[in-house]
Amino acid sequence: MAFKSVLLATISITALLGTADARAQEDERYDTRDWAGMRRDLYCLIGWQVIATGIIYQAPFEISNWSQDEKDNLGFAQWRENVTDPVWDEDHWAINYVAHPYWGAGYYMRGRERGFSRKESFWIAVLYSTVYEVGIESFLEQPSIQDLFVTPIAGTAVGLYFERVRDRIRNQLEPMSFFDKMKLGLTDPLGALNRGVNRLFRIDATKNSQLMIGFRPIRSVPRRGGLRQGRQVNLRGNDSDGFQLIFSYQW
């Protein structure tokens, strides 16, 4: 019965996202999705998992629910055994049905902030919650069946509300207050954490280490161009007089 309810909830929220997503009507030729930023978010999520797991590892059993035997057997053998045997966990209701949906909403908002559609952001929440459940945490405990469903499904429902809150703040005419900025941080917790680390270590998140080598056409007559939906579009003058080698390194 519980499985049927979860399945129906998954189908319902997927249908809701498919009809509610205004971005699905945009011209697919103009992809505004920030894939590099999404990868950085995923790497940061794994890093936060390692830190959180290390803190919980040191906590007493009453908090972590990890026995000393599980801690002593930490390793890939225990991880492999755990991920192949997910369970219906008995964590406190506040953890399963408040904390997990909140972080699921944070996963959803990362997708939206990176330019992904609502439906795509739902699947990003599914990916992130799965990475958490079968990732670092599974070295010490079996994945939680309800968390695999509750985190992305309830999280996306909460995320849709968070999205409206953020839109109201950004569209208001008066300057943002302290509480407005606090709301933006609380409705995008993973983004707020990542930005805090970037500021602390003076990391420019808009740049990443990359090496580019290629050719660029040389033209004696400049091409005429125009703007279409914020992007430069070439209208004429595509003939080139040759090519030049490009070498670019960015850290």
Residue 205 lies in a domain: no
Instruction: Give the structural domain span for 191.
Output: 2-200
Checking if the pLDDT of 94 tops 60, the result is yes
Q: What domain count does the chain have?
A: 2
Angstrom distance (rounded) from CA 210 to CA 201: 20
The C-alpha atoms of residue 146 and residue 44 are separated, in whole angstroms, by 24
Same domain, 47 and 145: yes
- Angstrom distance (rounded) from CA 220 to CA 206: 33
In a domain, 174, yes or no: yes
Confidence tier at 65 by pLDDT (50, 70, 90) = confident
Do 228 and 179 share a structural domain? no
Dump pLDDT digits (tens) for 78-88.
Answer: 899 999 999 99
Tell whether 178 and 220 lie within a shared domain: no
| C-alpha span between 100 and 94 (Å, rounded) | 9
Does 118 share its domain with 217? no
Mean pLDDT of the residues in the chain: 77
Length of the chain as a residue count: 251
The sign of the dihedral angle between the CA atoms of 46, 192, 196, 39 is positive
Q: Which pLDDT tens digit goes with each residue over 173-219?
A: 999 999 999 999 999 999 998 888 777 777 666 554 344 444 455 55
Please tell me the distance from the alpha carbon of residue 190 to that of residue 185, in angstroms, as a whole number.
9
* Angle made by CA atoms 96, 100, 132, in degrees to the nearest 5: 110
**What is the pLDDT, as a whole number, of residue 149?**
93
- 241 and 182 share a domain? no
- Shared domain check, 43 and 18: yes
Look at residue 37 and tell me if it is in a domain.
yes
- Give the number of other Cβ atoms within 10 Å of residue 194's Cβ: 22
In a domain, 42, yes or no: yes
DSSP state of 221: S
Highest-confidence range of 157-161, 220-224, 240-244, by mean pLDDT? Answer: 157-161
Higher pLDDT, 108 or 54: 108
In a domain, residue 185? The reply is yes
Q: Are 124 and 238 members of one domain?
A: no
Task: Examine residue 130 and state whether it is found in any structural domain, yes or no.
Answer: yes
* 102, 12: one domain: yes
Q: Is residue 12 part of a domain?
A: yes
Same domain, 113 and 139: yes
Q: Does the pTM exceed 0.85?
A: no
Same domain, 231 and 115: no
Q: Is the pLDDT of residue 226 over 60?
A: no
Query: Is there a single domain that holds both residue 96 and residue 160?
Result: yes
**Single-letter residue type at 189:** P
